[in-house]
A and B are shown apart, each in its own frame.
Chain A
Amino acid sequence: EAGVTQFPSHSVIEKGQTVTLRCDPISGHDNLYWYRRVMGKEIKFLLHFVKESKQDESGMPNNRFLAERTGGTYSTLKVQPAELEDSGVYFCASRGVRASTDTQYFGPGTRLTVL
C-alpha cells in the first residue's frame, strides 16, 4: 500500500509569487489534513478535509491560503501571493474512514522557501 505522497519535495519562489502544493492521501482515506512547520517551531494544524468538504479550517493563517480537494481524492494547497513568513515545511496526513481509526499517516512534506 502506497503511503501519503506530496509534490514537490522542495519549492523555492520569490515573494509575491504563487505556489501550489499537492498531497495524495493513502487510497481510500477520506480524511486529509494539512499541517506546517515554520522556522523550526512546532508543527501546526492548518485544516482537515472529510472527502471534499472542509471539516475544520481553523488553522488557516489568512486568505492567501486556499485548500481544495475536488472529488475527495488528492488535495492542493495554494499560497497566493507568497510572503517570507510562509517559508517552512508543509505536511499532509491522511486517516481512514472508520470513526475508531485515530492514526494520521504523514507524508514526507514539502519544504517551501520564499525569498
Chain B
Amino acid sequence: AQSVTQLGSHVSVSEGALVLLRCNYSSSVPPYLFWYVQYPNQGLQLLLKYTSAATLVKGINGFEAEFKKSETSFHLTKPSAHMSDAAEYFCAVSEAAGNKLTFGGGTRVLVKP
C-alpha cells in the first residue's frame, strides 16, 4: 500500500525566505509523485509532477522538487517566498498513470511580511 507523509501541518516563512516543504512516500513500485496547491476558496492546482524522467522537476510559480529514491523523498522548494504563496500544499503519489492518488495530510504555508 502507498502512503505519504508530509512533515509539518503548518509552516511559517518570511517573505523572501526559502520555502521547504517535506514529503516522504512509500510505494511498492516506481511512483508517480505530485505536488498540488490549494489557494483559499479554490480547488487543487497541480504545481509539478515526477513521472520517471528528470529527478529535479520544475513547476509553476518558481517551485521545484527533487525526487530522491534512496530517501523516498520528494521535497518541494522555492528559493524566495512571496505573499501569494500562502496556501495549503499537498504531496501525492500514485502507482501508475491515471491511478488513484494517495495524499499526504497537507502543509499550510503562512508567509509573513
Question: B96 — nearest CB in chain A belongs to which residue?
Answer: A102
Interface residues of A in 75-104 (CB under 8 A from B): 91, 93, 95, 99-104
Say yes or no: A106 contacts B106, CB within 8 Å.
no
Say yes or no: B101 contacts A45, CB within 8 Å.
yes
Q: In which size bucket is the chain B interface? A: 20 to 34
Given contacts A44-B103, A45-B100, A106-B44, 13 further A-B contacts (CB under 8 A): A33-B100, A33-B101, A42-B105, A43-B92, A45-B101, A45-B102, A48-B100, A56-B100, A95-B98, A101-B98, A102-B98, A103-B34, A106-B43
A109 in contact with B43 given A99-B97, A101-B97, A102-B49 (CB within 8 Å): yes
Which residues of B are found within 8 Å of A95, using beta-carbon distances? 98
CA distance A106 to B4 in the complex (A): 19
Say yes or no: B49 contacts A103, CB within 8 Å.
yes
A42 in contact with B44 given A33-B100, A106-B36 (CB within 8 Å): no
Q: Which of A4, A42, A44, A102 contacts B43 (CB 8 A)?
A: A4
Judge if A107 is at the interface, Cβ distance under 8 Å: yes
Interface residues of B, Cβ cutoff 8 Å to A:
4, 32, 34, 36, 41-46, 49, 51, 90, 92, 94, 97-106
Say yes or no: B102 contacts A99, CB within 8 Å.
no
CA distance A3 to B92 in the complex (A): 21
Interface residues of A, Cβ cutoff 8 Å to B:
3-4, 31, 33, 35, 41-45, 48, 56, 58-59, 91, 93, 95, 99-109
Question: A5 — nearest CB in chain B belongs to which residue?
Answer: B43
Say yes or no: B97 contacts A102, CB within 8 Å.
yes
- Contact count A vs B, C-beta below 8 Å: 57
A86 → B minimal CB distance (Å): 19
Which residues of B are found within 8 Å of A91, using beta-carbon distances? 43-44
Q: Which of A99, A100, A108 contacts B42 (CB 8 A)?
A: A108
CA distance A41 to B4 in the complex (A): 13
CA distance A104 to B49 in the complex (A): 11
A42 in contact with B104 given A102-B32, A103-B49, A107-B43 (CB within 8 Å): yes
> Residue among B46, B49, B94, B100 with the most chain A CB within 10 A?
B100
